[in-house]
Amino acid sequence: MTYGTPVRAVLIANRGDNDGGVIGQLLRERGFVCEQWAREDALEWPQLASDVAVVVPLGSDWSVYWPDIAHLVEAEATLLRAAHQAGIPVFGICFGGQILAHALGGEVKRAEKSEIGWFSIDWNVTQVTLPAVDGAVWLQWHYDCFVPPAHAQVLATSPAGVQAFRLGRSFGVQFHPEVTPQIIERWSSGPGADELHKVGMSPQELRAETEKRAATSATHAATLLAWFFEHAT
């Protein structure tokens, strides 16, 4: 789906990490005007206007269940729930997928198996027809996982848990289809570098693998987003 007149896409992220990457670029190519909303300002967000055609909550270094940010988490969950109830498509990515699951009645918890790096996932071929991304490798960086809400379709899994679910026009994924080399450069610096060392990976290794996989991953992201718009709208 490509829109002929400008409509808005609301991308939600933390300050300093508000990069929609590949997904943001694909939305702009479809005619969307992308607007960034900061999670830290969630208590001050307006209601979604009639020209908002999609909401994309992105990843975060937060956890949905942290008590000190509960007020901000619930404000974002309220907005995502309102979008879902209004029939506005929601595409949640990593933390965004987790908070979407939480907003719609699911659960977020610490994962028994974290994933950092490039991993393949298993698509439920009885629930989704995505042959172009079957066997694709996606960037993962998470310590938490989500249990989808009741009645949601589980579309993909990995040894770490559910990787994708859909409920009506809402779609949540655990992996990062938006990732670019520039995003990984930022994530793998500072505290991110320490996280990588803890799992036996150097920032240089992850950056090099991302450079190698970025173009193919972007192609898969385009396929995934096209599927989302076909089935969610």
Number of residues that make up the chain:
233
> Nearest CA to 87 among 167, 5, 172?
167
Residues 6+ apart with CB under 8 A from 138: 118, 119, 120, 121, 175, 176, 177, 217, 220
Which residue among 76, 176, 195, 220 is the active-site one?
176
Joined together, the tokens standing for residue 62 give 């937060």
Residue 61 inside a domain? The answer is: yes
pLDDT at 6: 72
pLDDT at 132: 60
> Does this model's pTM top 0.85?
yes
Which residue among 102, 115, 142, 178 is the active-site one?
178
Residue 2 inside a domain? The answer is: no
In degrees, rounded to 5, the angle at the alpha carbon of residue 156 between the alpha carbons of residues 152 and 162 is 70
> In the chain, how many domains are there?
1
Q: Let me know if 94 is a catalytic residue.
A: yes
Domain that holds residue 181: 7-232
CATH of the domain at 17: 3.40.50.880
pLDDT per residue as tens digits for the range 74-121: 999 999 999 999 999 999 999 999 999 999 999 999 999 999 999 999
Q: Let me know if 178 is a catalytic residue.
A: yes
pLDDT per residue as tens digits for the range 118-177: 999 998 866 666 656 777 899 999 999 999 999 999 999 999 999 999 999 999 999 999
Which residue among 76, 84, 94, 115 is the active-site one?
94
Q: Let me know if 76 is a catalytic residue.
A: no
Residues 6+ apart with CB under 8 A from 129: none
Residue 1 inside a domain? The answer is: no
